[in-house]
Amino acid sequence: MLERHINVSLFATLMLFSLIATACMPSVAKPVPRLFSPPPIQPQPVPAPPEIGSGPALQDSEAVPNPEEIVTLTMPRFPAPPKPPPARVAAPPKPAPPPTPAPPKITQLFSAEQLREYNKAYDDSQDRVRKALAILESKNLSQDQRNTMDRIKTFQMQAEQEHERDLVTAVNLARRADALSADLLRRFQ
């Protein structure tokens, strides 16, 4: 306890000396800024305007020109515009070039087994999507869920459009619709 009292008094003493030391320090006064006053403006003498002498005297005959001296101008004569060339006789129409054949369509060839598997996967996915959409139509959906249902219908429609052209793409689109519909149905169970 005594140690604590000594520490406190030592601290108080140090604080007192530091305050006294700073109070005794000479303060550095900032110089007062001088105001700039420009030198007075010396008036310049205004030069006298130059004298304009009178011009030559005009006689009355110079004031109005002699009508005989008036020059008349005539418009130049230009040649007539050229006549348009005679109409050309239309050339017989050229025969239309034969239509170019459409470029060959690149398709993937499937074995009978692969074709069966892809068609089965497509049909199964589309059936599940139809059933899920029928169930979801009867539910009260939020705006987000209605947006998801619209996406499912879009994937389903795109899969139907691609079924004849590109079977692999159609299967992938049907699977996407199937996955989204299954996820949306799980939220209601």
Is 144 a member of any domain?
Answer: yes
Is 84 a member of any domain?
Answer: no
Is 40 a member of any domain?
Answer: no
What are the tens digits of pLDDT across the range 110-125?
888 999 999 999 999 9
Q: What is the pTM of this model?
A: 0.45
Count of domains forming the chain: 1
What are the tens digits of pLDDT across the range 65-87?
566 666 677 888 888 888 887 77
Is 177 a member of any domain?
Answer: yes
Is 24 a member of any domain?
Answer: no
Burial of 141 (0-12, 13-18, 19+ CB in 10 A): middle
What are the tens digits of pLDDT across the range 9-43?
778 887 877 767 665 556 666 777 778 788 888 88
CATH number assigned to the domain comprising residue 152: 1.20.1270
Is 170 a member of any domain?
Answer: yes
Is 104 a member of any domain?
Answer: no
Fill in the DSSP letter of residue 188: T
**Contact 135/181 with Cβ under 8 angstroms?**
no
Where in the sequence is the domain holding 181, given as residue range(s)?
Answer: 112-186
Residues 6+ positions from 170 with CB-CB distance below 8 Å:
122, 159, 160, 162, 163
